[in-house]
Copies of this chain bind each other. A is one copy, B any other.
């Protein structure tokens, strides 16, 4: 692979070049004020008329001509014949220029006596008090909010000139299929330009997505030429990542100037900038997270420099839940999930890979690691920019451990009670570690059935971090999978495939061997570990091994025979004191609800005998005894 990026431009230099190399486009459009929310005022907006248009009374009393009252005093009262009775808010007839309060009037025979002269405009809410005709309502550059639109309507403004910018977005790549088409093997849905369109439209841009252009320099050139003619800014997506066939750079060079290709930013390194007919052409990398960085850190600042509103950036300071490594010399942007554990805001980094599109979906913010920083230790205080409502943080429980489909319905039910659950799937041991370091509210774990819990190594090693409670969600059958229906006693004479120590299947195997009096060295393949039960089943199906431990559903999905030997339990493990938290009371009630049980039964494959029961383990690692006989006969 040719390294195109020997000399990468620093991010700040790239941004200076980007925002200073182009004329600001002059486009505006006139739209109805009812659809103007979030748009930017292009020409100052003036009131169409005064509000109120006529003088109104500010008091209950009489409207008078002020000159008729000159000289009135207690000793020399003046009697008025011309006046009009008014209440607060009434129109003052044009002949009158002042109001005298009801309590300052002595009325007899339809005439009014006053003992004090009235100054012009006294107690008058003058025409134009709220707004004068032709007075400025909104200056150029104002970003329109919902309540501004009320004022615009009040002052007679029905349409408004706002900034507009036309952005052309070109997807390139022979492997792409359009949004809405199911990709064949090796094909990918062209989703980056869909995302770009939504993102940029939100800023007020008028986006045109061009049809997908295959990897053909002539066709890319043709489309780019058209897009530059029709737009103020062109984004050309994919084809700009090293290692794939890349014609974008040469096409830009053939039509104009290449300003930069490759910036010291991750993800997003292959970003490129060209100038064709004086207009910017921004090359968007194909990997989704890289494309996101370029949209947020390049395209958005360019539009901001043209007067478009930035996305609201709400920064919070969080304690980093785990160490974060960053490449020296690169500005890195990392998706972060922010949650509150007790008094602390805790930030958990989400997958750094450019592929992992779910990481920004699962995160609610991101952090910017500057180029000179090599990373941060766990516990560092860090600034995170949120991508969601900060209020949702307070309503969110963090689950770290092993995800099972049984959790999904619980998450949905919790939301209906106003609780958000942020669940990640790093596995049992990271889940227990997170519980130990107070980096999660609960660890959903797949555990060997309760009678084997005391011999489950990751849990016994966890002892000392405080009392734990185990909230049982569901049990699943574990057994020996094979082509021919092998049993425990057969394990000494076949090729076995094992799972890692943190898996319940490993604990179950060890218990089985102990019961049968078999030493692990007698099992051919005991040391051959794969990641989990699904890999075990594939290894057996592919003929790599003859037997292994997995769940009944995985065995049947791989057409293997299955000999049940134990249960594994899916449990929510929490610090004991958390049981007093009202949010966990809600969760336990949901787990015990008939609705949730019915949903699990509908999914199938779950034993719900223990669902909703809670057992404890004290801080020294001793498990409280479980009632006997709560599992079906024949199981450990």
Which A residues contact B (CB, under 8 angstroms)?
A: 33-34, 37, 44, 48-49, 51, 53-54, 65-67, 70, 88-89, 91, 97, 119-121, 129-131, 136-141, 143, 145-154, 156, 158, 179-180, 182-186, 188-192, 194-195, 197-199, 202, 243, 288, 291-292, 305, 307, 309-310, 312-314, 355-358, 360-361, 387-392, 408, 411-412, 415-416, 418, 420-421, 528, 530, 535, 538-539, 542-544
Q: Do the beta carbons of A34 and B415 come within 8 Å of each other? A: no
* Chain B residues, CB < 8 A from A420: 141
Chain B nearest CB, measured from A569 CB (Å): 22
Which residues of B sit under 8 angstroms from A312, Cβ to Cβ?
312, 314, 389-390
- Copies of this chain, tallied across the complex: 2
* A416 surroundings in chain B (CB, below 8 A): 140-141, 307
If A66-B544, A312-B389 touch, whether A120 touches B535 (CB-CB below 8 Å) is: yes
- Contact between chains at A150 and B530 (CB < 8 Å): no
Which of B97, B121, B180, B195 is the one whose CB lies under 8 Å from A149?
A: B195
Q: A361-B148, A538-B121 are in contact. Are A143 and B389 (CB under 8 A)?
A: yes
> Which of B44, B151, B202 makes the CB contact (< 8 A) with A412?
B44
Measured CB to CB, the closest approach of chain B to A31, in angstroms, equals 13
Write out the residue numbers on chain B whose beta carbons fall within 8 Å of the beta carbon of A180: 158
B153 and A191: CB pair below 8 A? yes
Known A-B contacts A130-B358, A186-B54, A543-B67; A139 and B194 likewise in contact (beta carbons under 8 Å): no
Interface centre among A54, A130, A150, A156 (most CB of B within 10 A): A150
- Given contacts A49-B183, A97-B544, A140-B411, 4 further A-B pairs with CB under 8 A are A44-B412, A140-B415, A150-B194, A307-B416
Known pairs A312-B390, A415-B140, A543-B67; A198 contacts B91 (CB<8 A): no
Question: Shortest CB–CB separation between residue A28 and chain B, in angstroms?
Answer: 13
CB distance from A153 to the nearest CB of B (A): 3
Q: Which residues of B contact A130 (CB under 8 A)?
A: 355-358
29 contacts between A and B (CB under 8 A): A33-B194, A34-B197, A37-B198, A48-B182, A53-B184, A67-B542, A119-B528, A121-B538, A130-B355, A139-B421, A143-B392, A146-B195, A146-B199, A146-B202, A147-B195, A147-B199, A148-B360, A148-B361, A150-B192, A150-B194, A150-B291, A154-B189, A154-B191, A307-B416, A310-B391, A312-B314, A312-B389, A312-B390, A313-B389
Residues from chain B with Cβ under 8 Å of A412 in the complex:
44, 139-141
Contact A153 B189, beta carbon cutoff 8 Å: yes
- Residues of chain B contacted by A288 (CB below 8 angstroms): 150-151, 154
Cβ contacts under 8 Å, A136 to chain B = 408, 411
Nearest B residue (CB) for A335: B147
Question: A544 and B70: CB pair below 8 A?
Answer: yes
Taking a contact as CB atoms under 8 Å apart, the answer to whether B542 and A65 are in contact is yes
- Give complex CA distance A348, B453 in Å: 62
- Selected from B195, B361, B387, B544, the residue in CB contact (under 8 A) with A67 is B544
Whether B34 pairs with A97 at a CB distance below 8 angstroms is no
> Which residues does chain B contribute within 8 Å of A305, judged by CB atoms?
418
Q: Measured between alpha carbons, how far is A180 from B189 in the docked complex, in Å? A: 45
CA distance A131 to B198 in the complex (A): 22
The residue of chain B having its C-beta at the shortest distance from the C-beta of A60 within the complex is: B1
Do B138 and A361 touch (CB < 8 A)? yes
**In the complex, residue of chain B having the shortest beta-carbon distance to the beta carbon of A360:** B147
* Cβ contact within 8 Å between B243 and A53: no
Residue of B nearest to A305 (CB): B418
Shortest CB distance A261–B (Å): 21
Q: For the complex, give the distance between the alpha carbons of A191 and B157 in Å.
A: 11
Minimal Cβ-Cβ distance residue in B for A366: B147
Q: How far is the CA of A389 from the CA of B412 in the complex (A)?
A: 32
- Cα A421 to Cα B136 with chains together (Å): 13
| Distance of A60 from chain B, by nearest CB (Å) | 9
Rounded to whole angstroms, the CA-CA distance of A151 and B355 in the bound complex is: 11
Determine the residue in chain B with the shortest Cβ distance to A535: B121
**Contact in complex: A530, B119 (CB < 8 Å):** yes
Are A139 and B67 within 8 A (Cβ)? Answer: no
Chain B contacts for A309, CB-based, 8 A: 389
B191 in contact with A415 (CB, 8 Å): no
Q: Which of B158, B179, B355 contacts A153 (CB 8 A)?
A: B179
Contact residues in B for A243 (Cβ distance below 8 Å): 88-89
Residues of B within 8 A of A152 (CB): 191
Do A131 and B358 have beta carbons less than 8 Å apart? yes
Q: Most B CB atoms within 10 A — which of A65, A88, A189?
A: A189
B360 touches A153 (CB 8 A): no
Residues of B within 8 A of A153 (CB): 179, 189-191, 194-195
| A185–B141 touching, CB < 8 Å | no
Question: Could you say which of B33, B91, B137, B389 contacts A185, with CB atoms under 8 Å apart?
Answer: B91
Minimum distance in angstroms from A34 CB to a CB of chain B? 6
Pair B198/A313 contact, Cβ less than 8 Å: no
Most chain B CB neighbours (cut-off 10 Å) among A44, A145, A388: A145
Residues of B within 8 A of A53 (CB): 183-185
A362 CB, min distance to chain B CBs, angstroms: 10
Q: Taking A53-B185, A130-B357, A312-B389 as contacts, is the C-beta distance between A37 and B202 under 8 angstroms?
A: yes
Interface pair A310/B389, CB less than 8 Å apart: yes
Which residues on B sit within 8 Å (CB–CB) of A292?
Answer: 147, 150
CB distance from A91 to the nearest CB of B (A): 5
Is A139 a contact partner of B356 (Cβ separation < 8 A)?
no
Q: Which 4 A-B pairs give the minimum distances between C-beta atoms?
A: A150-B195, A153-B191, A141-B415, A146-B199
